[in-house]
Amino acid sequence: MAEAEIARHAEAAEQRWPLLGVTVVHRYGRLEPGENIVLVVTAAAHRQEAFAAAEFLMDFLKTRAPFWKQIEYAAGKDWVDAKQSDDALADRWTGTGGGRAAAE
């Protein structure tokens, strides 16, 4: 399910910006503190387009991707709640913000 959603949003990024390539790697399973979790690589003829597409994808991963994050403590486990600040960043991509029209 997560891979299909990531692919769908990578395609959306390719439709919004004239990208030459997109790669998204998101690890799952048990991870230790400090381990790398996500890699987003975008390539475009102009850096602003590549940076915007990468930000778009990272914002999606933080707010809309079907991952459930749980932290383990010595005394038990707890689910991580979504942050309003992450939602606010993701909201900037709705409507007409960003994309080809803004880049032209």
Token output for 22: 């997109």
Average pLDDT of span 94-100: 55
Q: Residue 13 — very low, low, confident or very high, per pLDDT cuts 50/70/90?
A: very high
49, 74 in Cβ contact below 8 A?
no
| Phi, psi (rounded to 5 degrees) for 77 | -125, 155
**pLDDT tens per residue, range 41-91:** 999 999 999 999 999 999 988 887 767 777 888 898 888 777 888 888 888
Query: Of the ranges 4-8, 29-33, 68-72, 100-104, which one carries the lowest mean pLDDT score?
Result: 100-104
Average pLDDT of span 13-31: 92
Give the domains, in start order, of the chain with CATH numbers. Answer: 2-103 (3.90.1170.40)
